[in-house]
A and B are shown apart, each in its own frame.
Chain A
């Protein structure tokens, strides 16, 4: 069975500090991993996906199959990064059916 674990429910950093939101997964096949973000009073939306190898709003995430991790990182956090972040996994065969972690609430203090 597949599972996504985000060990931190809450994470606080100061503006300008590096931030890392942890995500570990369990799945025996080849998953596709995503990070979704929900800003206050906004819809849950895709932040980035591992297959695109992209940097969005300064965030990057590298899929580490050996450690089964997909941590989200940003070298210098900004106040506007404060939001709820969800790591999600899909099996390629299930065409978009996402399994979400429980989320990490990031607060960036001024």
Chain B
């Protein structure tokens, strides 16, 4: 397995534009997480899904952010309209609960977003 795959790796856009980040979790994992990493705030959980259903979206900054998981192998994080303060590295991670032990998170390489 190639691990969690994210695209694009880098995105530079102008304020006001729509940004879509994509994630393919590890096959068989039933949890998917979107995190945002900034120097000021570190790693923040935005939203997570279990079996494609959003469980907790309390970390989504505002209505400009939305996330979907139409099937077990694909998720998107959309920002519309984007603002300079959205500039960050966005990580997708997946996990599976195994044998009653809390699952390890497997992270993608991240999508570095710059909003000018």
Contact = CB atoms under 8 A, between A and B. Distances in A.
A99 B101 CA distance: 17
Interface size class of A (residues with CB under 8 A): 20 to 34
Nearest to B31: A96
Interface string A66-110: 000000000000000000001000101001111111110000000
A32 interface: yes
A45 B41 CA distance: 19
A100 B43 contact: yes
Interface of A: 32, 36, 43-46, 49, 51, 86, 90, 92, 95-103
29 contacts: A32-B102, A43-B108, A43-B109, A44-B91, A44-B107, A45-B106, A45-B107, A46-B104, A49-B104, A51-B101, A86-B42, A90-B102, A92-B102, A95-B31, A95-B97, A95-B102, A95-B103, A96-B95, A96-B102, A96-B104, A96-B105, A97-B33, A98-B45, A100-B43, A100-B45, A101-B42, A102-B41, A102-B43, A103-B43
Interface of B: 3, 31, 33, 35, 41-45, 48, 50, 55-56, 91, 93, 95, 97, 101-110
**B contact face: mostly helix, strand, loop, or mixed:** strand
Given A92-B102, A95-B97, A97-B48, A43 B107 contact: yes
Q: In this complex, which of B44, B55, B105 has the most chain A Cβ atoms within 10 angstroms of its Cβ?
A: B105
Nearest to A101: B42
B45 A96 contact: no
Nearest to B35: A100
A102 B108 contact: no
Contacts of A99: 45
Contacts of B3: 43
A62 B103 CA distance: 20
A35 to B, nearest CB: 12
A49 B48 CA distance: 21
A102 B56 CA distance: 21
Contacts of B95: 96
